[in-house]
Amino acid sequence: MDRLSTAALSGVPETLLIPLAARLLASERNPDLGFIDPAARVVGERLAFDPARFADDRGSMRGSIVRALWFDSVVRRFLAAHPDALCVSIGSGLDTRTDRVTPPPGVDWYDIEFPDVVALRQALIPARPNVHAIAADGANVLAWVDVVPWHRERPMLVLAEGVCMYLKPEAGAAWLRALDYLAGVRATPLTLAFDFASPFMVRNSRRNPSVRKTQAQFSWGLRRIDDAVRIAPGFRVAERYDVARRSGVLSRTVSMAHRLITGGRPLYGCATLTHAGHAAG
């Protein structure tokens, strides 16, 4: 494919254009959120990408920035506490998080993406010291675990932003179980940050104004974050964050109705799970 074109992106990788559009439109559409990302602007210009394709979807444009700011905050807090950590970002798309958060020099950062996306990242985003890309299925932990410097007891942060809803449910569950198992046997204090869709959102993914412009659709939903802990009992829920509630009037209204009807379940949220680094019991 043309190294600097999005034309060959299809299916799930194409969805990286949605948060990229949100980042490019953030200062104009959602200035109150205070999101600043000059590196994203450079990516957009080099790609000659017109965010107008997704601009009408105000909920996703705002929600993507609300979500990005929450992930940035998780990363900053974790790296401040663990300046020698390993950070693995699964499904980074064309995100420029390392430019926003500037990891300390002791941090090793790995972006794991499908091969076409890695090629685009390498062509578009200037290299930074200690920031690497791996072309792999990030949900298949065995595909990357021995490529990253995950040493016994080294604190680790795993990010998956805008990714889990595209995984098959069995792949999502296997991913959680593998991280749980490996954190236990490697005695790793591990924090996992991800966003998750409700089953309602999954059922209605073709109605999402941005997702339906791609060939992708959602597959995996969680009724509540505790369901992830049931799958991988070595984790504990450390933080919950309701994205839909903060993503504009329509999202907030649907989110409130969803909570009322389901007895308090989030429509769309983020969470951090922590693993103490020993087997549950």
Ligand X SMILES: C[S@@+](CC[C@H](N)C(=O)[O-])C[C@H]1O[C@@H](n2cnc3c(N)ncnc32)[C@H](O)[C@@H]1O
Nearest residue (CB) to ligand X, 91 versus 277? 91
Nearest residue (CB) to ligand X, 95 versus 242? 95
Nearest residue (CB) to ligand X, 34 versus 83? 34
Nearest residue (CB) to ligand X, 218 versus 277? 218
Residue 16 CB, shortest distance to ligand X, in Å, is: 4
Q: What is the rounded CA–CA span in Å between residue 118 and residue 92?
A: 9
Looking at residue 228, its amino acid is A
Residue 176 CB, shortest distance to ligand X, in Å, is: 13
Residue 238 CB, shortest distance to ligand X, in Å, is: 20
Where does this chain bind ligand X (CB under 6 A)?
Answer: 12-13, 15-16, 18-19, 90-93, 95, 112-114, 117, 137-139, 161-163, 166
Residue 20 CB, shortest distance to ligand X, in Å, is: 6
Nearest residue (CB) to ligand X, 58 versus 277? 58
Residue 237 CB, shortest distance to ligand X, in Å, is: 21
Nearest residue (CB) to ligand X, 17 versus 107? 17
Sort residue 46 into left (φ over 0), alpha (ψ -120 to 50) or beta: alpha
Residue 262 CB, shortest distance to ligand X, in Å, is: 24
Nearest residue (CB) to ligand X, 189 versus 271? 271
Residue 211 CB, shortest distance to ligand X, in Å, is: 9
Tokens of 133: 């890309």
